Copies of this chain bind each other. A is one copy, B any other.
Amino acid sequence: MGKSLVYPKLPRSTLNRYKHRGTYDLGQIHSIVNESAVLHVAFPAGPDDPFPAVLPMIGQMGSFEYPSADINEPLDCYLHGYVSSRIMNLARATNGEGENQGLPVCISAAHVDGLILSLTPNSHSYNYRSAILHGYAQVVTDEGEKHWAMKLVTDGVVENRYNNTRVPPNKVEMASTTILRVRIVDGSGKIRDGGASDEKYDREDKELTSRVWTGVVPVWQVMDEPIPAPENEVEEVPEHIRGFIDKINERNKAYARGAAVAGLPKEEKH
Q: Does A140 contact B (CB under 8 A)?
A: no
> From residue 147 to 183 of chain A, which have CB atoms closer than 8 A to chain B?
150-151, 154, 157-158, 161-162, 164-167, 169, 173, 176-177
Query: 0/1 per residue, A128-161, Cβ < 8 Å to B?
Result: 1010101000000000000000110010011001
Q: Please determine whether A154 and B124 come into contact, CB atoms closer than 8 angstroms.
A: yes
Chain A: interface residue count, which band? Answer: 35 or more
The stretch that binds B, out of A1-9, A68-76, A211-219, is: A211-219
Chain B residues with Cβ under 8 A from A112's Cβ?
A: 37-38, 221
What's the Cα separation between A165 and B203 when bound, in Å? 12
Residue of B nearest to A209 (CB): B233
What's the Cα separation between A139 and B128 when bound, in Å? 25
| Distance from A58 Cβ to chain B, minimum over Cβ atoms (Å) | 8
Q: Please determine whether A205 and B132 come into contact, CB atoms closer than 8 angstroms.
A: no
The one of B51, B104, B118 that contacts A51, using a Cβ cutoff of 8 Å: B104
Chain B residues with Cβ under 8 A from A20's Cβ?
A: none
Residue of B nearest to A197 (CB): B229
The stretch that binds B, out of A23-31, A59-67, A255-263, is: A255-263
**Residues of chain A at the chain B interface (Cβ within 8 Å):** 12, 16-17, 37-38, 40, 42-45, 49-56, 58, 82, 84-86, 100, 104-108, 110, 112, 115, 117-122, 124, 126, 128, 130, 132, 134, 150-151, 154, 157-158, 161-162, 164-167, 169, 173, 176-177, 195-196, 202-203, 205, 208-234, 237-238, 241, 245, 253, 256-257, 260-261, 264, 268, 270
